[in-house]
Amino acid sequence: MVSTNPANSSRSLPSPAEVHKRVRSTFDTGRTRDVAWRKTQLRSLKRMLEESEAELLEALRLDLGKPGVEAFITDIAFVRSEIDLTLKHLDAWMKPERVALPVKQQPGRARIHRDPLGAVLIIGPWNYPVQLIGAPLVGAIAGGNTAVLKPSEVSAHTSRALARLLPLYIDADAFAVVEGGVEETTALLAERWDHIFYTGNATVARIVMTAAAQYLTPVTLELGGKSPVIIDESANLDVAARRIAWGKYLNAGQTCIAPDYCLVDRRVEGPFLTRLHDAVKQFYGTNPIHSPDYGRIINDQHFTRLSRLLDGEGAGEVAYGGGRDEAARYFAPTALRNTDPSSSIMNEEIFGPILPTIVVDNVDAAIEFVTAREKPLALYVFAQDHKVSDRVVHETTSGGVCVNATLFHVAVPTLPFGGIGESGMGAYHGRASFDTFTHAKSVLSRPTRPDPSIAYPPYKGIKAKLLKKLL
């Protein structure tokens, strides 16, 4: 495995173009098509996660102040589960799928083969930097591809750890890590890829898609946005509060599918906010800065951005939290009430531990609010009245939905994970990853006999009439 690190700017490191060339020629050897090779790579990747757990957890702590247990579950164990599931099913997924052939097209055999795509580019963000490079990599390996991985420079310690570790475990000529930021990513995007898998914000997604258009390269875009939570009058408020607080404040709110804001039925607003605060105290104590289970904001730039949103006009009253310590990049778990829908905090993805709440009269108003905005990556509804949750599921569009839960759908390997519209395109996880990183190739085989002349020109007389009847 090759890795380039511009920060070291060593002359011996290959350029992005050279790395691209190397993984492409490895793909051309055909060795990645072999199922045994794919499984070896997956097992080695799993071994890396096990043997280097401490190094990766330390990098995540340095980057995001990630609590150990949280980092283990959301970054390391997540990728390991994807590997286990893939190893279990890969043979079955790779088997050509026989499909029916209409009688008039018989005799013959129709099958769908899953072809590797070739050399793929995977660009990751900083918030779950092991998971969001590792999980797409599992899909790329399973699909029989080679890949260049570009971790986020923002989570620099994890990027460095991945660049150091991966070459020790997986095929050096088939997989490469290119470290760096805009310059290196731009250089990579100038190459011709067979697929680009990008996770990050929608502004850069447009740059990625524009670069991909040059070669008609297909893209998967895993983006973010504002994921709403609807709290119905019928909700179990204790459970809702706990699950929302957990989903919101995990990784200090820096989760693509974190609840972004709450639309709460006005009849339960007061008790809901009280229970939410109780849940925060239960999880992180009265002063979460001392909690070993609460993370930190990634960098000063994001800290300032969050402060601007919280202090901005129309953000609303602080229901609890609001405390900050800039030097420690600590931002307290915070909730707001009476937030103005036209405020800045309601018009950009928050991506931090601030939860605005807006009261609504009923579920109709909540649905109207959601459908008037961009299609979110996730949507959460808390209701014990099934009619209400069913209406939300059927009358709104989003990447995914959880009823009476937050975040958990991302960890269900049988559910494809992805966005729609401004929250992304394409999906992955489990079988969906294999599908994303392979081409469904239609293969039709026909015997050479019979070969009736009716199928061929000239079409006239009885032959033409018969053909019209048959088709």
Sign of CA dihedral 182, 80, 42, 12: positive
Encoded one letter per residue, x for contact with ligand NAD by CB under 6 A and - for no contact, window 224-253 reads x-----------------------------
Rounded (5°) CA angle 238-241-243: 105
**Looking at 78, 331, 351, 380, which residue binds ligand NAD (CB under 6 A)?**
351
Instruction: Show contacts with ligand NAD in window 407-446 (CB under 6 A).
Output: 419, 424
Q: How far apart are the first and last CA of the chain?
A: 54
**Looking at 26, 86, 199, 398, which residue binds ligand NAD (CB under 6 A)?**
199
Rounded (5°) CA angle 123-414-32: 50
Encoded one letter per residue, x for contact with ligand NAD by CB under 6 A and - for no contact, window 352-381 reads -------------------------x----
Q: Tell me: does residue 261 bind ligand NAD (CB under 6 A).
A: no
Least gap, CB of 256 to ligand NAD (angstroms): 3
Least gap, CB of 2 to ligand NAD (angstroms): 18
Q: Tell me: does residue 152 bind ligand NAD (CB under 6 A).
A: yes
**Looking at 57, 119, 132, 163, which residue binds ligand NAD (CB under 6 A)?**
132
Stretch that binds ligand NAD, among 38-46, 162-170, 178-186, 288-296 (CB under 6 A): 178-186
Instruction: Show contacts with ligand NAD in window 154-173 (CB under 6 A).
Output: 154
Least gap, CB of 12 to ligand NAD (angstroms): 23
The full 3-state SS of 162-219, as one line of letters, equals HHHHHHHHCCCCCEEEECCCHHHHHHHHCCCCCEEEEECCHHHHHHHHHHHHCCCCCE
Phi first, then psi: what are they for 351, rounded to 5°?
55, 45
What tokens were used for 307?
């402060």
Catalytic residue among 222, 269, 349, 422: 222
Are 423 and 399 within 8 A, CB to CB? yes
Cα 368 to its chain centre, rounded Å, is: 27
Are 241 and 264 within 8 A, CB to CB? no
3-class SS of residue 34: coil
Q: Catalytic: 402?
A: no
Least gap, CB of 381 to ligand NAD (angstroms): 20
**Looking at 57, 133, 174, 256, which residue binds ligand NAD (CB under 6 A)?**
256
Neighbouring-strand partners of residue 221: 198, 425
Q: What is the C-alpha separation between 265 and 280, in angstroms, rounded?
A: 21
- Find where tokens 């052939």 sit: 101
When the beta carbons of 43 and 305 are compared against ligand NAD, the nearer one is 305
Least gap, CB of 352 to ligand NAD (angstroms): 11
Q: Tell me: does residue 220 bind ligand NAD (CB under 6 A).
A: no
3-class SS of residue 401: strand
Catalytic residue among 82, 256, 262, 402: 256
**Looking at 181, 285, 323, 421, which residue binds ligand NAD (CB under 6 A)?**
181
Q: Catalytic: 262?
A: no
Encoded one letter per residue, x for contact with ligand NAD by CB under 6 A and - for no contact, window 280-309 reads ------------------------------
Query: Measured between alpha carbons, how far is residue 419 from residues 251, 378, 422, 426 in Å?
Result: 21, 8, 8, 7
Q: What is the C-alpha separation between 22 and 106, in angstroms, rounded?
A: 44
**Looking at 26, 52, 74, 127, which residue binds ligand NAD (CB under 6 A)?**
127
Q: What residue ranges bind ligand NAD (CB under 6 A)?
A: 123-127, 132, 150, 152-154, 181-182, 185-186, 199-201, 204, 207, 222-224, 256, 349, 351, 377, 419, 424
Which residue numbers are catalytic? 222, 256
